[in-house]
Amino acid sequence: MKGKTALITGSAKGLGKRAAEELARFGCDIVLNYRSSGDDANELANELAKRYGVRSCAIQADVAVPSDTGKLARQALELTGQVDILVNNAGPFIRERRVFAEYEEEEIIALLHGNLLGSMLLDRHLLSGMRERGWGRVIHFGFGHAMEGRAWPHRAVYAAAKTGLVSFTKTLAVEEGQYGITVNMVCPGDIRGDFKEKSIADVRGISDEESPLSRPGTGEDVARVIAFLCLPQSDFLTGNIIDVTGGFDPIRTSIKPSTQG
């Protein structure tokens, strides 16, 4: 994919970083995005350029702030001239378990903006250039089993945003196919902490009792799927919602009644 430019949101660390490394390995020039981890992002940009001989830069923007999506798209185009691949990885998540009634209004808005509206706006800013060139790849991030639209107690807002993004992914795939643009969603399983940046080789011999495969998932598991979807030969794959979970289902659809008076 030499000559293509990929923009990956939330790519200073974690799954976004691993996706950036994989696409750089395939020859893509890389635009990294970060919200607050500027040192990490700039260090990674230098590392990718040195290791893979690609152009790489880092841009600060918060995709949960609508005006920042336009800034991010504009600066990416100014620095690189074009964006052929957009990976919408960034998205706020509150790990603390809370029912919907316990969320603050500001948290609800931030979760919806960061996980749904931000991706939609960034897509809108960059689709015109992809249309002009007759080629593009858009990757959205979901969660395992997002396509099923099941109840997910304690994750009401996050789940609503991502399942909304499922519908948007499928619609955009249909609308943009005629322009040579594919749109897919990758849905990672419960990959936590340092495992988000590890390779498959790194976890050989490590046991995970919750996983049907008996090993933990890694960032490489997710990044390999993203890279495959971005290949020119993958142009017949669009509108897909792909679970990368190792068969593990983290969703519990019931909740015990509250003991509070």
CA atoms 7, 12, 13, 17: torsion sign: positive
**250 inside domain:** no
For 78-97, b where at least 16 C-beta lie within 10 A, e where not — what string? eebebbbbbbbbbbbeeeee
**213 inside domain:** yes
pTM flag (> 0.75): yes
**23 inside domain:** yes
Contact call for residues 55 and 81 (beta carbons, < 8 A)? no
Report the distance separating Cα 105 and Cα 98, nearest Å. 14
Mean pLDDT over all residues of the chain?
94
Quote the pLDDT of residue 132.
98
**119 inside domain:** yes
Quote the pLDDT of residue 158.
96
Report the distance separating Cα 191 and Cα 222, nearest Å. 10
**152 inside domain:** yes
Domain with 181 in it: what CATH number? 3.40.50.720
Quote the pLDDT of residue 215.
86
**212 inside domain:** yes
- Domain hosting 182: range is 5-244
**pLDDT tens digit string along 174-203?**
999 999 999 999 999 989 899 999 999 999
**255 inside domain:** no
Quote the pLDDT of residue 247.
85
Quote the pLDDT of residue 109.
97
Phi first, then psi: give them for residue 212, nearest 5 degrees.
-60, -25
Report the distance separating Cα 31 and Cα 194, nearest Å. 22
**256 inside domain:** no
What is the number of structural domains in the chain? Answer: 1
Which structure tokens are listed for 157? 């807002």
Tens of pLDDT along the chain (261 residues) come to 999 999 999 999 999 999 999 999 999 999 999 999 999 999 999 999 999 999 999 999 999 999 999 999 999 999 999 999 999 999 999 999 999 999 999 999 999 999 999 999 999 999 999 999 999 999 999 999 999 998 899 999 999 999 999 999 999 999 999 999 999 999 999 898 999 999 999 998 887 777 777 788 999 999 999 999 999 999 999 999 999 998 878 777 767 665 443
